[in-house]
Amino acid sequence: GLRTSLRYYNTIEQFEYETIRDKVFYLLDTIGINPSSIPEFNRIFPPVNLGNTTHLLKRRSSHETNAHHHMIEYFASNFSLLRPLLNHYAPDYLLFGIKAPSWAIEAFEYKDPLFA
């Protein structure tokens, strides 16, 4: 897991549409690169107006693969693989204080008798 190799990283971030631009901007600035010197920076990381989510929703739908639903279907059908997968990543979830993916929780709720 990352606990043993964490010292080799300068930054580890969980990217979200709402915050990715600012995080990448800060990272580039930290290493001495002006984001405005990157020709496609504003296209790749467009400014997000949190008061107007139209652009955000458009960006999400342009890359929508329905992976969330496919993961639930797959692990509900292959339930014995879910627990080992979550156990494998559990140290990273704990280290960074992040929750297991929502699709994993939904697959448990769908298939595990404890949640029925």
Domain boundaries, the chain: 1-64, 65-116
The span from the CA of 45 to the CA of 25, in Å, is: 9
Mean pLDDT of 50-59: 53
pTM of the model: 0.50
- At position 85, the amino acid (one-letter code) is L
Q: Which of 85, 75, 84 is nearest to 110 (CA)?
A: 75
Query: Is 53's pLDDT higher than 80?
Result: no
DSSP string, 4-38: HHGGG-S------TTTHHHHHHHHHHHTT--GGGS
Query: Is 37's pLDDT higher than 90?
Result: yes
Confidence of residue 11 (pLDDT cuts 50, 70, 90): low
pLDDT at 7: 72
Mean pLDDT of 72-96: 86
